[in-house]
């Protein structure tokens, strides 16, 4: 085990800013990409829904 | 007058001949379903590798005797840098396929890969900068490795901007493919930059020709994190290509049928 305590772990031997600054941005941006993709999928499905309803309206 | 008969369509010919063809999967309609089935499995694999990789990175790999704890940035920095180059090569591969076989899916795959490639390039630069400050005393230096990686980021941006600027998707695919294939020359430049030039950036810790110059647990952590990023990249690329397929094929009969089946 590398760490004597929770605080020891968070301190990263004095390099907390650099280590956590790297990891936080990496995982935040990867999560953001997934959220943006889910929103894009929802947007295109809603648009396809409207197109289908418009096409039905045209036939009736 | 030309009638559509099984003999004069590609799909019809394949049915008549009755043999398995990889080109079947180059149909966006077929690939849409395949991507939808595969994406969740790659996402699960990414999560499992990430948990294992982070455990190795923080709890198994020892403190570095020279750099102390700051070296732990390596577990995301190196995998992100690998992915930034690898995704570009895959993007160039699909671009080449598109130009050679004129398959619609190829251009869609290249488009789906670019944002994730750009993201990993940015993350490699970001984590590298945060590692450079405490170890080199500077956030940034214009050495060959850092500069060529920055050019990679601009290549991704250029590829996306070019495709977005051309209205006709098939023409955009061709123009993007030429750009992607031209830019692939930058990949060996990035990779070998630390040998060809005198750089502040260190040489490779891991290479194909020699044993890694680091503790086995450090090496294992790096490889497992690389696998996590790789599986993540496949999952998000498949998710994105499904969006692109729906956007581009929204007028087609099969998309209408798909919409009927999900509601």
DSSP β-bridge partners for residue B64: B68
User: What residue segments make up the domains of chain A, in order of their start?
Assistant: 15-59
Q: How confident is the model at residue B214 (pLDDT cuts 50, 70, 90)?
A: confident
* Token representation of residue B181: 């294939």
**Cα gap A25→A27, rounded to integer Å:** 6
Lowest-pLDDT range, A8-22, B111-125, B189-203? B189-203
| A20 CA: distance to closest CA in chain B (Å) | 9
Chain B neighbors of A29, CB-CB under 8 A: 119, 122-123
Chain B neighbors of A23, CB-CB under 8 A: 76
Size of interface A-B (CB pairs under 8 A): 88
Which residues in chain A have Cβ-Cβ distances shorter than 8 Å to B80?
A: 26
Residues of B in contact with A44 (CB under 8 A): 243, 246-247, 250
Which phi and psi (to 5°) does residue B185 adopt?
-60, -25
Q: Of B115 and B199, which is predicted with more confidence?
A: B115
The chain B residues in contact with chain A (CB within 8 A) are: 58-59, 61-63, 68-70, 72-73, 76-77, 80, 115-116, 119, 122-123, 126-127, 130-131, 133-134, 232, 236, 239-240, 242-243, 246-247, 250, 255-256, 259, 262-263
Query: Domains plus CATH for chain B?
Result: 38-206+214-262 (1.20.120)
Out of A19, A26, A49, name the one closest to residue B80 (CB). A26
B130/A29 CB distance under 8 A: no
List the structure tokens of B159: 């590829």
Q: What is the pLDDT of residue B1?
A: 45
pTM: 0.89
The chain B residue lying nearest A40, using CA atoms, is B243
Tell me which of B69, B75, B217, B245 to substitute to probe the interface with A (most A C-beta atoms closer than 10 Å).
B69
The least confident of B190-194, B198-202, B203-207 is B203-207
Strand partners, B68: B64
CA distances from B196 to B86, B121, B140, B192 (A): 20, 21, 20, 6
- Residue-wise pLDDT for A9-36, tens only, equals 999 999 999 999 999 999 999 999 999 9
- Tell me: the pLDDT tens digits for B219-241? 999 999 999 999 999 999 999 99
What is the distance between the alpha carbons of residues B12 and B255, in angstroms, rounded to a whole number? 20
Here the tokens at position B18 are 């009755």
Lowest mean pLDDT among A45-59, B2-16, B176-190: B2-16
Would you list the DSSP string of B202-239? ---SS-SSS--SS-HHHHHHHHHHHHHHHHHHHHHHHH
Q: DSSP secondary-structure letter at B252?
A: S
Phi/psi at B168 (nearest 5 deg)?
Answer: -75, 115
Nearest-by-CA chain B residue for A39: B243
Q: Is B18 left (phi over 0), alpha (psi -120 to 50) or beta?
A: left
Rounded distance between C-alpha atoms, residue B230 and residue B235, angstroms: 9
Listing DSSP states for chain A in one string gives ---SSHHHHHHGGGTHHHHHHHHHHHHHHHHHHHHHHHHHHHHHHHHHHHHHHHHHHHH-
| Residue of chain A with shortest Cα separation from B237 | A37
C-alpha–C-alpha distance, residues B176 and B156, integer Å = 10
Contact A29 B68 (CB under 8 A): no
- Spell out the alpha helix ranges (H) of chain B: 10-17, 28-55, 74-101, 104-136, 144-165, 169-183, 186-196, 216-248, 253-262
Rounded to an integer, what distance in angstroms lies between the CA atom of residue A12 and that of residue A7?
A: 9
Asked if the model's pLDDT at residue A57 lies above 50, the reply is yes
Least confident range of B48-62, B128-142, B158-172, B191-205: B191-205
């Amino acid at each position: 085990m590398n760490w004597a305590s929770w605080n020891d772990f968070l301190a990263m031997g004095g390099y907390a800013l650099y280590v956590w600054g790297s990891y936080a941005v990496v995982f935040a941006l990867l999560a953001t990409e997934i959220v943006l993709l889910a929103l894009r999928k929802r947007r295109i499905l809603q648009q396809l829904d409207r197109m289908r309803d418009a096409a039905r309206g045209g036939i009736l | 007058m030309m009638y559509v008969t099984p003999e004069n369509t590609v799909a019809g010919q394949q049915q008549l001949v009755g043999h398995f063809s990889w080109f079947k999967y180059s149909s966006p309609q077929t690939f849409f379903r395949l991507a939808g089935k595969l994406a969740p499995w790659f996402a699960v694999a990414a999560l499992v590798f990430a948990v294992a990789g982070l455990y190795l990175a923080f709890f198994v790999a020892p403190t570095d005797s020279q750099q102390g704890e700051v070296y732990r940035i390596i577990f995301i920095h190196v995998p992100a840098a690998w992915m930034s180059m690898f995704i570009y090569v895959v993007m160039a591969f699909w671009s080449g396929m598109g130009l050679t076989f004129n398959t619609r899916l190829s251009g869609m795959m290249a488009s789906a890969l670019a944002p994730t490639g750009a993201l990993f390039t940015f993350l490699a630069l970001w984590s590298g900068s945060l590692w450079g400050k405490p170890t080199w005393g500077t956030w940034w230096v214009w050495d060959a490795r850092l500069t060529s990686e920055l050019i990679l980021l601009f290549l991704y941006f250029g590829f996306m901007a070019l495709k977005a600027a051309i209205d006709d998707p098939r023409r955009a695919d061709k123009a993007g493919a030429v750009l992607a294939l031209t830019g692939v020359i930058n990949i060996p430049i990035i990779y070998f930059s630390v040998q060809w030039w005198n750089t502040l950036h260190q040489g490779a810790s891991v290479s194909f020709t020699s044993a890694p110059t680091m503790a086995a647990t450090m090496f294992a952590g790096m490889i497992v994190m690389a696998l996590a990023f790789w599986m993540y990249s496949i999952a998000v690329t498949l998710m994105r290509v499904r969006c692109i397929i729906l956007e581009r094929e929204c007028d087609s009969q099969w998309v209408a049928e798909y919409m009927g089946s999900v509601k």
